[in-house]
Amino acid sequence: MAISADLAARSGEKCELCGSTDGLEAVEVSDAPVGFSADVVLCATCAQHSKDPGGIDAHHWRCLTDSMWSQVPAVQVLSARLLNKISAESWAQDALDMLYLDDELQSWVEAGNVDEIVHLDSNGVRLQAGDSVTIIKDLDVKGTSFVAKRGTPVRGISLTSNPEHIEGRVNGTKIVILTKYVKKN
């Protein structure tokens, strides 16, 4: 899509995510509510990889920690969506934890996050919230003095936004457990 004069002026003729000036194009952020401009200016790299952010080095996306604070709602929404998609990176999850969006923008973010997060145990069995699992490897629990022993049952698990993590109680302490170290009962 061609860049309008208004859009070029708003963006300062730079990518609104990473600040690059190479190969700029206007991209529409999907599912915009009525009354919001859905267009953002992206460089060729950000535009190409915004559909699949895992396709390039995750360090490229560190620019999102700045763009998420943009005054442009469409840039904030796109930044939040991309951070959600790469939330396995600890810095991206930290950025999401800091990000505050009003209800209308949060609804816009969620409208575009149609990718279903699937949690699978060590055997590839799908996990659901409330399932019971068994730990298959002794795990040191960070921040505590105990080890979650192999064979320990964990009942009523909770799912997280990261498909590799679940939450559950072990020895009365709520912990995050990697899905590769559990099997569904």
Q: Encode the chain (185 residues) as per-residue pLDDT tens digits.
A: 678 899 999 999 999 999 999 999 999 998 889 889 999 999 998 988 887 766 667 788 999 999 999 999 999 999 999 998 888 888 989 999 999 999 999 999 988 765 567 889 999 898 988 999 999 999 998 888 889 999 999 999 998 888 899 999 998 889 999 999 999 99
Q: What is the DSSP letter of 54?
A: G
For residues 107 and 18, state if they share a domain: yes
The predicted structure's pLDDT at residue 156: 93
Nearest CA among 169, 18, 36, 170 for reference residue 79? 18
Residue 21 and residue 100 share a domain: yes
- Tell which residue, 11, 42, 15, has the closest CA to residue 26: 42
How far apart are the C-alpha atoms of 106 and 161, rounded to whole Å?
15
Among residues 73, 92, 112, the one where a domain terminates is 112
Q: Of 112, 127, 158, which residue is a domain's last?
A: 112
Same-domain status, 32 and 107? yes
How many domains, the chain? 2
pLDDT at 60: 87
Q: Can you give the pTM of this predicted structure?
A: 0.61
**Residues 47 and 75 grouped into a single domain:** yes
- Expressed as residue numbers, the domain containing 47 is 5-112
What is the Cα–Cα distance from 175 to 169, expressed in whole angstroms?
6
Torsion over CA: 10, 15, 19, 20 (sign): negative
The CATH number assigned to the domain holding 125 equals: 2.30.30.40
**pLDDT computed for residue 153 by the predictor:** 95
pLDDT of residue 121: 93
